[in-house]
Structure 1
């Protein structure tokens, strides 16, 4: 990796990254909400957040495929229009679901944004395209990442100037068993790197060290880790990575 590329991603390693914002459910500050992002901005933390695609093709800030865990609504995000999603009040808070447009207007470049594109592993590129469209002209530090190499390959093709990353683990969990075997093997061997060309990797800290990640880091690629939930885990993670994505404590 060239020196220019390393400089381009310095914002990823400069400060700990608040996982879904600096949330605290007990204080009514819920993940991926305006309040959680405001708390992260106040502390100067970079913000990690998630995007899902609505029925009418808008990008909303929401982690789960289903809306039940965090709202009184029912069903899949992809089966709701953006107007329907924005009507949902987040449990234990007064916040409502945000769009990516609203998130960008809130953050205004005050801290970096580490944006994960959620995927249904079906080759649908609409979320990647919508995110890229929304980020045009956004001056603040930001990047796009996904577990799905197809999503990041799409970002590379559509907007090669945007810093992009792969979120990953060793992909041996039963969750991955529903994917076609070639896709499973691509994830387990990191062979997708030839087509995704990530600028960084966000990796599950409990599965480090791992040879493919060690090799990428030795070549100069920044490695961030998820999700760190206490100082002891942070110490362990920083032995094998360059920055942490954290929640539940003051990093």
Structure 2
């Protein structure tokens, strides 16, 4: 065989290997087939913009330094406080603009609408045991009392404690009232209660160093969600809850009980099917069977729309086997580092959606900057849907629109919430 023939033969062999590798890659990252979804009766991805950890006024995505807040963030915080705290919260916030997409449907006018939303939130929180007072107290100047303002700090806007911290019942009530879907996180307590909290400890959300898994739910109820001391080098998205000090207690306007990490069961009772819920299972590299089973027991009894997601493909594999009717999503972030260990390899495979074969997700929840990445584009071409996380500006939403079907947002007000639900 001549040299030319050997080169041609080697080229064909390499091409064959390349095609085989490509075929394996396509198989590995493919979503659940549409035919399988129909056969299994799986629900689709609900039409919604999902409020990241609820519509919150403290926590994730909010600038640690109030002097650097932009207009979009101020509007977002004002919306959360206006819904949760009524007109008093609006006055204290100092932001009076009506948010985009929240058209007034009340014949009594915009002010009456905001008040009715706050009253509705009061009633909703009472149903899940947050013990509202009989009426909103009023101070001498007519503003609402109970807004969590530290009287020693002078009561100015910068001195406010949060009314709706991230992953709290007031934040979820505000999202429902605004017509947004909800994204939340679940973990287990020491006594195996399913609670809604993102981090594995309470340092960022309450200034408490203890781990969630080391506390019973009764102990967790004693920890008030609120501002922790702000580090000078705190960064957006990972900083302690914003405030000028850490002595405040997060309290809902006119409601006497401090806000604490909620049970998932209380969140489900509060939402009551009004908006879709996107539940993220928080766990390490090993599958947390008890978290899966206890959370599923609550969700299976819930009549409203929900879907699940996790960074761990084994969680999706669990749903693939045990709950095929539930819409499931693979959380991922592009991996750009070097592969120097088995952990790096696992992150690289997951970031390129090459572990999808384990759980066959219906959607990929992808960090939005990677929206144009080839793995996500191929996943969509094969019939999968995509969810962007976490958008923090209208500009980011505009840039992401071509690459994503749904959005998870915070710190700005999207232009298109869901239609508000009618009376239940």
TM-score, length-scaled by structure 2: 0.55
Q: Aligned residue for 2:176?
A: 41
The match for 2:382 among 215, 219, 227 is: 219
SS in 1 for 2:273: coil
1:116, distance to aligned residue in structure 2 (A): 0.4
The match for 1:246 among 394, 406, 409 is: 409
- Alignment deviations for residues 177-214 of structure 1 (CA, whole Å, 9 cap, x no partner): 88635523431332221121111111101122111111
The match for 1:191 among 341, 354, 362 is: 354
Q: Aligned residue for 1:57?
A: 192
Q: Aligned residue for 1:8?
A: 43
Distance 1:248 1:3, change over 3 A: farther
Find the aligned partners of 2:385 and 2:373 in 1 and give their Cα distance: 15
| Residue correspondence of structure 1 range 1-251 to structure 2 within 5 A | 1-2=33-34, 5=37, 8-11=43-46, 14-25=47-58, 27=81, 28=162, 29-92=164-227, 93-94=250-251, 95-172=259-336, 180-251=343-414
Find the aligned partners of 1:134 and 1:158 in 2 and give their Cα distance: 14
SS in 1 for 2:201: coil
Q: Is the 8 A contact 1:47 1:112 kept in 2?
A: yes
Q: Which has the higher contact order (CA 8 A, sep 6+)?
A: 2
Q: Is the 8 A contact 1:129 1:158 kept in 2?
A: no
- Alignment deviations for residues 139-185 of structure 1 (CA, whole Å, 9 cap, x no partner): 111011101112221222232222211111113469x9886355234
Structure 1 segments unaligned to the other structure (5+ residues): none
1:243, distance to aligned residue in structure 2 (A): 1.4
Q: Is the 8 A contact 2:330 2:356 kept in 1?
A: no
1:30, distance to aligned residue in structure 2 (A): 1.1
SS in 1 for 2:206: coil
Find the aligned partners of 1:77 and 1:114 in 2 and give their Cα distance: 21
Find the aligned partners of 1:188 and 1:137 in 2 and give their Cα distance: 33
- Alignment deviations for residues 108-148 of structure 1 (CA, whole Å, 9 cap, x no partner): 00100001011122332221111111112211110111011
Considering fraction of residues, name the structure with more strand: 1
- Alignment deviations for residues 23-43 of structure 1 (CA, whole Å, 9 cap, x no partner): 122642211011110110011
Number of positions where the alignment pairs a residue of Structure 1 with one of Structure 2 = 248
Distance 1:156 1:139, change over 3 A: same
1:82, distance to aligned residue in structure 2 (A): 1.9
Q: Is the 8 A contact 1:72 1:88 kept in 2?
A: no
Find the aligned partners of 1:122 and 1:4 in 2 and give their Cα distance: 27
Structure 2 segments unaligned to the other structure (5+ residues): 1-32, 59-76, 82-161, 228-249, 252-258, 415-424
TM-score, length-scaled by structure 1: 0.91
Of structures 1 and 2, the larger Rg is shown by 2
Distance 1:164 1:10, change over 3 A: closer
